[in-house]
Amino acid sequence: MRRASALGFAVLVVAAPWLIAAAVPRQQRYVLHVLIFTALFAALALSYDLVVGHVGSLSLAHPAFFGIGAYTAAILATAAGWPFAAGLLAAVLVAAVVAALVGVPLFRLAEHAFAVGTLGLALVASIVANNWVEVTRGPLCITGIPKPALGSLAVTTLPAYYWLALSALAAVVLLYRGLTTFRLGRAFHAVRDNEPLAGAAGIDPLKYRLLAFTVGAGLAGGIGALYAHYLSVMCPEEMTIGLTVNLLVIVFLGGVGSLRGVLVGAVLFTALPEVLRLAPTWRLVIYGLLLLLVVVRSPEGIESLLRRAIGARAAR
């Protein structure tokens, strides 16, 4: 029964372009655009949750890795003429390598210091993107990033891009589940929940933290590359700490360390405001208040509230 409904859901998601075209033909492109953003943000939030939710390190440096990936792909595609797949791979690798390099010293820091240290890193990265004009073109942005193409298959239409974003999300979901469920996942959680105990059990906390940090950064870099190719421009404004705030809202509003929670959070934060069309400043006020309420009252996020509500009804 559950498998059947999951399959149904998957079919629904994949067929979305046709369904939307049938339901709201005039708005198809806008809706697809929102869905593409939602899928990319969901994937980015999942990569972030690997670090925050599963090894319990509140890193604020995620926009830096997103930006590094986006710029790597953008520069390679425009200045060096690399094909999309190679640029994507390079984006993942560069972001992961940078994360591994800075991760070693950063993880020596305790809680608050780690958060502030990663924040400093994010700020430095965005200042460099703004000022290293020779490479990033600074605030003039990199323009004319070509549409992605895989071999002879060019992704030019919105539905095609939607499927590409969806496949990326699926890949991230699979990796996320793989990393967080089996033995590795148990080790991650041991590190998060009780570091000394994990150490005593022969689990090296630093190793696992660094692993989650590096993988999360690599994924963020890859998503940055997809984002840059989709927009065809990349500017420093895309990697400010505002992005961290969005990610924190998605992850904590949805549910830390929970796949479904983060996905719910991404939909709530990316798609819903577009549908409701709130005034932008009020939207932020409402999100801030919601976030405050959720972390204070129900730290597991909205997803667990929903689950509890459904569970209560089922028990009745």
Partner 1 sequence: MYAMVAAGLALMLGVARLINFAHGEFFMLGAYAFWFAYRELGVPYPLAAVLAPAVMVAFGIAYQHGVIRAILPRSWHVQLIATLATSIVLTNLAIIALGTQPKEVPTVLSARILDVGGVRVAWQRLLVLGASVVIFWALHRFVARTRTGRAMRALSQNREACAVVGVDVQRVAMVTFALSAALAAAAAALVSPLFNIFPDMGTALTLKAFAAVVVGGFGYVNGAIAASFLIGLTEALAGSYVSYAYKDAIAFLVMLAVLLWRPQGLFGRRLGI
Partner 2 sequence: MRLALALATLLFLAFSAGAQAPPIKIGFASAMSGPAAITGEGVRWGGTLAVEEINAKGGVMGRKLEAYFADNKAQPGEAVSAVRKLADVDQVDVIIGQTHSGACLGAMPVVKEIGIPMVVESCSHPKIRELSGKGGNEWTFRVALDDEIMAYTFARYMAKQGVKTSSVLAMNNDFGRGAATAYEAAFRKAGVKLVSTEFFDPGQPDYRPVLARLKRANPEAILGVILASDGAPFLRQFRELGLTQKVYARGSLASAEFLHQVRDNPRVGDGVVEASYWITGLDPDWDRKWTERHKIPPRIHGSLAAITLKWAVVPALEIALKKHGKADRASIRAALTEVDVKDSPLGPIKFDANHQAWINMILIEMRDGQLRILEKLPTSPAFLN
Q: Per-residue DSSP letters for 110-131?
A: -HHHHHHHHHHHHHHHHHHHHH
- Choice from 128, 175, 179, 184 touching partner 1 (CB under 8 A): 128
Rounded Cα–Cα distance for residues 204 and 67 (Å): 30
What would the x/- binding string for partner 1 be over residues 194 to 233, using CB under 8 A?
A: ----------------------------------------
Cβ distance to partner 2 smaller for residue 25 or 196: 25
81 residue type, one letter:
G
Q: How far is the CB of 44 from partner 1 (least distance, A)?
A: 18
Among 121, 142, 220, 226, which residue interacts with partner 1 (rule: CB under 8 A)? 121
CB of 223 to partner 1, least distance (A): 22
Could you tell me which residues are beta bridge partners of residue 34?
none
- Of residues 5 and 281, the one with the C-beta less far from partner 1: 281
C-alpha distances out from residue 97 to 114, 163, 220, 223, Å: 19, 28, 12, 16
Regarding 110 and contact with partner 1 (CB under 8 A), the answer is yes
Angle between helices 280-297 and 241-254 (to 10 degrees): 50
Burial class (CB in 10 A: 0-12, 13-18, 19+), 192: buried
Quote the least distance from Cβ 12 to partner 2, whole Å.
Answer: 22
Of 146 and 199, CB closest to partner 2: 146
Check binding of 252 to partner 1 (CB under 8 A). Answer: yes
- The closest alpha carbon to 165, from 215, 223, 219, 221, belongs to 223
Question: Which helix (H) or strand (E) segment is 154 a member of?
Answer: strand 153-154
* Residue in 23, 24, 116, 201 binding partner 1, rule: CB under 8 A: 116
Q: Is 142 helix (H, G, I), strand (E, B) or coil?
A: strand
- 93 or 128: whose CB is closer to partner 2? 128
Please pick, from the candidates 22, 285, 309, 310, the single residue that binds partner 1 as defined by CB under 8 A.
285
Which stretches of the chain bind partner 1, using CB under 8 A?
A: 56, 58, 105-106, 108-113, 115-117, 119-121, 123-124, 127-128, 130-131, 245, 248, 252, 256, 281-282, 284-285, 287-289, 291-292, 295-296, 299
